[in-house]
Amino acid sequence: MKTDFKKIATDGIITNNPTLKLVLGTCPTLALTTMAMNGIGMGAAVTFVLICSNILVSLLRKVIPSKVRIPAFVLIIATFVTIVRLLLDKFLPDIYESLGLYLPLIVVNCIILARAESFASKNGVLASAADGLFMGLGFTIALTLMGAVREVLGSGALFGIKLWDFQIGFFAQSSGAFFTYGVFIALFAFASNLIANKRRKLSAKQVDNTKEVQ
Amino acid sequence: MADKIYKFSSSPHVKAPTTTTRIMQHVCIALMPACIMGIVLFGLNAFLILALSVLGAVASEFIYLLIVGKKFNEIIKQFDFTSCVTGLLIGLSIGSQVPLYVPIFASAFAIIVVKMIFGGTGKNLVNPAVTGRIFAFMSFTSVMASGWLLPSIASLSGGTSLSPTTGATVLTNLFTNGVSTDLSILDLLLGTGLAGCIGETCKLALILGGIYLAVLGIINIGYPVIYIVTTGLITVCLNGFNFSYFLPSILSGGLVLGAIFMATDYTTTPNTTLGNIIYFVLLGAVTAILRHATGIEVVSFAILLMNLFVPLIDKFVINKPFGYVKAKKTKGA
């Protein structure tokens, strides 16, 4: 079976963006987007876990009995999360500190479990690895953008560099997180609807043209 | 609001000249005494804040409507004074010490996010003015909640005015130090010698506006009274049945402003009389208990919280249709 990597890529980043389209993994999205750097750190950690767990689940998909598949998936994910935690603690203690509780909570992150369940347990190893990579990228991009917006508005800085003294405290608080998230989902839906409509019109035109030729 | 009555009553319908625009103009007029007293007490800065918050509210409504593709003439024709009222209420409910960008941000948030996105006048889930004020309070806490300025007219009873450097309003003082004898009830009523938001210190002007609205039949004066009395009574209960707390607790802070002009917003109150009584009693209880627990003014937070319960109250409190007989329970099947 030939795997369509282009489709997997657009699926992960745009059409099925885990944060903005599937609304999965909202807990870290809301809690950690106070700074853009947090988005990158969290995104990288999740992407790593996602790729590894997707590969392992895909390898073991014919061995794991379907009745106990969820505990098995969680066990696999927990293993990789532990590896990430130990690595970050050793080599990047700053990020480890700022991610705090949300790092061990990756174990129960819906995105990873959802991809293991709906993609990796049905597809080959390479396709699963690619899916993990692009899903993780979609998550990282969404989190970093949200973090950047909230950091600029809420604390007047970007990636920790101070821009100005003006701050709107609302965006640094949890209510601002919900607000920013809602606005992002709305804008994303608006943009994707616009593109879809344009494509539909284009393809309709093409059909018309071919009819005329005939 | 006219459509609201049509929805919940059967024929015959009476056509009246009351329109949303007319009602909102009356509310603007009713707010004028409070605005004038605010400007008298707090000076030019108060005027600038009021002007900017109204301008910000009206301008953001226009900009939003232009962005969604309405024609300019159409917008002017459809303009009701709701955004003016929202802007005025925001201006009245922030202190005169804030920088001038605060009212603009608060008004823009109130109109665009709370009102227009949910569908405009009459469709908003919560009161725009209250939410705009809370947005400003959370965003600019350092300037909104401290550095209160004293009015230009000193205390009439000759008592010492609260020092502005401590940043305390009468209400915070009441909860930390108990009932003070520095300010008389007359001072609290007139707003002389006490720090606070522009429109909330002079209770007499607010009460005048409330009476104006009640006489015109725009608000039912019973509801604000229920709210204020409940708050006062529960505050008394929470302070060991000490009745000297009653008047200071209802005459300090933004309770009168919130009760008369913010909590009675048509869109965010229940539709039935019983529902309204439940709503205002709960509002009073929430205000008194939260005030007691936090020691700061929470009227706006209480109104926001209770606004969210309005759909629930409307779901369970339904008017009995005229001549309706409850179906008898049939035993067995």
Chain segment B26-59, per-residue pLDDT in tens: 888 888 888 888 888 888 888 899 999 999 999 9
CA angle, B129 then B187 then B239, to 5°:
75
How far is C-alpha B227 from the chain's CA centre? 12
B14 touches chain A (CB under 8 A): no
Chain B residue nearest residue A155, CA to CA = B139
Interface of B with A in 158-187 (CB under 8 A): none
Q: Are B298 and B287 in contact, with CB atoms under 8 Å apart?
A: yes
Residues of chain B contacting residue A175, judged by C-beta atoms under 8 Å apart = 138
Kindly determine whether residue A170 and residue B135, on different chains, have CB atoms separated by under 8 Å. Answer: yes
Query: Who contacts B50 (Cβ-Cβ below 8 Å, separation ≥6)?
Result: B35, B38, B39, B88, B91, B92, B103, B198
Q: What residues make up the domain containing A97?
A: 5-213
Question: Can you read off the two tokens belonging to residue B325?
Answer: 């007989």
Nearest Cα to Cα of residue B287 among B299, B269, B305, B276? B299
Q: Are B210 and B219 in contact, with CB atoms under 8 Å apart?
A: yes
Q: Are B295 and B175 in contact, with CB atoms under 8 Å apart?
A: yes
Residues of chain A with pLDDT under 50: none
**Location of structure tokens 């707003």:** B191
The confidence score (pLDDT) of residue B55 equals: 92
Which DSSP string corresponds to B212-254?
Answer: HHHHTTSS-THHHHHHHHHHHHHHHHHTTS-GGGHHHHHHSTT
Span B91-118, average pLDDT: 88
The confidence score (pLDDT) of residue A11 equals: 79
Kindly determine whether residue A179 and residue B139, on different chains, have CB atoms separated by under 8 Å. Answer: no
Share of chain B above pLDDT 90, in %: 12
B212-221 pLDDT, tens digit each: 988 888 888 8
Model confidence band, residue B280 (pLDDT cutoffs 50, 70, 90): very high
Q: Phi/psi at B127 (nearest 5 deg)?
A: -70, 120
Interface confidence, given as ipTM, is 0.75
Kindly determine whether residue B138 and residue A179, on different chains, have CB atoms separated by under 8 Å. Answer: no
Kindly determine whether residue B139 and residue A169, on different chains, have CB atoms separated by under 8 Å. Answer: yes
| Separation in Å, CA of A13 to nearest CA in chain B | 28
Interface of B with A in 133-162 (CB under 8 A): 135, 138-141
pLDDT above 80 for B176: no
Q: How many domains would you assign to chain A?
A: 1
The confidence score (pLDDT) of residue A83 equals: 92
Model confidence band, residue B285 (pLDDT cutoffs 50, 70, 90): very high
Strand partners, A161: A158
Query: Who contacts A125 (Cβ-Cβ below 8 Å, separation ≥6)?
Result: A55, A58, A59
Kindly determine whether residue A170 and residue B113, on different chains, have CB atoms separated by under 8 Å. Answer: no
The confidence score (pLDDT) of residue B42 equals: 83
Nearest Cα to Cα of residue B301 among B291, B313, B292, B293? B291
The confidence score (pLDDT) of residue A79 equals: 92
Which DSSP string corresponds to A202-213?
Answer: HHHHHHHHHHHH
pLDDT above 70 for B24: yes
Chain B interface, mutation test: which of A164, A165, A167, A170, most B Cβ atoms within 10 Å?
A170
Kindly determine whether residue B138 and residue A170, on different chains, have CB atoms separated by under 8 Å. Answer: yes
